[in-house]
Amino acid sequence: MEDRLFYNEVLTDHNKHPYHKCELDHPDLMLEGVNPSCGDDIYLQLKMDGDIIADGAFVGDGCAISQASTDIMLEMIIGRTKQEAIRLADIFAKMIRDEATEEDIEELEEAGALKDVAKMPARVKCAALGWRTLKEMLEKA
């Protein structure tokens, strides 16, 4: 059963007031990510400066976990290199499989607020949507 406190302030704040939920002008990379079984849907956009993620945004519709997780992710990866972003995506994937160490979770900063999702199998795919889409997009680029 879900923890009563799972919907913590980090998550509800990013859901209610996302920093990066908007459209970018002329993004360099775009990819739509969906969870067909529950209807979560995001459209991720990035602006690249060489290997550096210069800016990022998303539009979409879905549960608070999918939307907040994507917003938190963008907050973290903007300004980082493509390789760093992919590495963080891998750590996040480890965390929601409940395989991450304390240090791993610390490295994820705010995204660590989603660690309890590992105990909620039905919601893992919601938390993973943004990161999964990001990784696919960067690896293809």
Find out whether 39 and 65 touch, Cβ atoms under 8 Å: no
Q: How far apart are CA 136 and CA 130, in angstroms?
A: 10
Structure-block tokens of residue 97: 């499989």
Choose the binding region for another protein from 2-10, 51-59, 79-87, 130-138 (rule: CB under 8 A).
2-10
User: Is 7 among the residues that bind another protein (CB under 8 A)?
Assistant: yes
- In the three-class reduction of DSSP (H, G, I as helix; E, B as strand; rest coil), residue 132 is classed as helix
- Cβ 121 to another protein shortest distance, Å: 12
Q: How far apart are CA 124 and CA 6, in angstroms?
A: 13
Element (H, E) at 55: strand 52-61
Residue of 48, 52, 63, 93 interacting with another protein (CB under 8 A):
63
Q: Which is nearer to another protein, 41 or 84 (CB)?
A: 41
Q: Which is nearer to another protein, 95 or 116 (CB)?
A: 116
Closest listed residue to residue 110, CA positions, set 128, 130, 92, 84: 92
Choose the binding region for another protein from 1-9, 77-85, 93-101, 105-113 (rule: CB under 8 A).
1-9
Q: Which is nearer to another protein, 91 or 113 (CB)?
A: 113
Q: How far apart are CA 28 and CA 97, in angstroms?
A: 31
Residues 32-51 that bind another protein (CB under 8 A): 37-40
> What is the binding site for another protein (CB under 8 A)?
1-4, 6-7, 9, 12-13, 15-16, 37-40, 61-65, 67, 120, 123, 126
